[in-house]
Amino acid sequence: MKLKNFFFIGILLYTENVMAFEVTHDFLVHIGIFDAAKVNFSYQMNLHDYGIHSQVETNGFFNTLYPFAAQYDTSGIISKDNLITRDYQYLSRSRSKTRSKQVIFDDKGVPLSQVVISNNKKKTKTFKPSPTPADTFDLQTIMMKIAYQYNKLGFCASNMAVYDGKRRFDVEVSDLGDDVLPKIELSPFAGKAALCSMHIKKVLNEEDDALWNFAANKPIDFWIMVDEKTGRPFIAKVRIKETPLGELNAYATNVYVRE
C-alpha cells in the first residue's frame, strides 16, 4: 500500500475518533418548592450515527403522590450534518398504566406510523404527512442537534422545524453569550457557562401530549459547560421560569464524558 494511502487512512481514523464520544448527565429536578424528579440524559455520537437515552422518574413528594417513570430512546444516522431519525421508542409506567410506543420512519427520517400498547391493548396509527417541511422528530433529537452543533462550532443559536407525526413546532434557540453559574449545594458545577434559550412555538394547534404541552410556548434556558479533560460540551443546568407549580430547575449532579 502506498504511503499516501496510509496517510489518508490515518486522517480518517483520527477524524472518527475526534467525533466519537458519549456524555451522560444525572439531573435533580426541582419545581417550585418540590423535589420533583430525577433524570438521566445521555447521548453518543460519531461521524455516522447517534443515539439518545433519557430516563425520568418522580422523586420525593411527587413520587408519593404520583409515582411515574418513563424512558425515551432515539437513534439515527448523521449525514452532511443532518441528524436523521431511524428509531424512536418510549416506555412509561404509572400506578395504573403501562404504555409503550414505537415509531416507524422512512429513510429520510419522516415518521410514517406508530404502534402504541397501553395496558396490553395495541393500537396502530398511520401519520399524515407534515403540512410544511420538518427537520426532526422529537425533543431529544433537538438537544442532540444542539450538542452536535456546539461541539463543532462552539455556539448554540439555531432554528429547527419539528414534526412528531401529529404536531408541527418551530424551535428557535438563541445564544445569550457567557454567564456564570453560582456555587450551590445541589450541583458541583459552577463557573463560566454558555447561556442558551430555547423557544418552542406551536405551528399547528392539535392534541398535545404532556411533554410538548409542558414545554411549548415557554422559554427553556440551559447552561452549557465544557469538560476540562476532553473539551466536550455538557448541560449543567436547565430552567423553565413558568410552570403551574412555579419555576422548574434541573441541576446536573453528575456528568460522565467518555471518548
pLDDT in tens, 132-172: 888 888 888 888 888 888 988 899 999 988 888 887 888 89
Q: C-alpha 22: how far from its chain's center?
A: 13
The reported pLDDT for the residue numbered 9 is 37
pLDDT number for residue 14: 38
> Is residue 155 one of the residues assigned to a domain?
yes
User: Within 10 Å of residue 100's Cβ, how many Cβ atoms?
Assistant: 15
Question: Which among 24, 13, 72, 73 has a CA at the least distance from the CA of 232?
Answer: 24
Number of compact structural domains in the chain: 1
Question: How high is the pLDDT of residue 181?
Answer: 95
Contacts of 168 (CB under 8 A, 6+ apart): 130, 131, 132, 134, 161, 162, 202, 203, 204
Domain membership flag for residue 6: no
- In the prediction, which pLDDT does 119 show? 93
CA distances, 52 to each of 144, 197, 231 (Å): 7, 21, 20
Tally of CA atoms within 13 A in the half-sphere of 259 that contains its CB:
12
Tell me the pTM.
0.84
**Structural domain contains residue 114:** no
Give the C-alpha distances (Å, rounded to integers) separating 53 from 32, 98, 178.
26, 19, 28
pLDDT at res. 7: 40
Domain around 58: 22-65+130-258
The answer to the question of residue 230 being in a domain is: yes
Q: Is residue 80 part of a domain?
A: no
Collect the ranges in the chain with pLDDT lower than 70.
1-19, 202-217
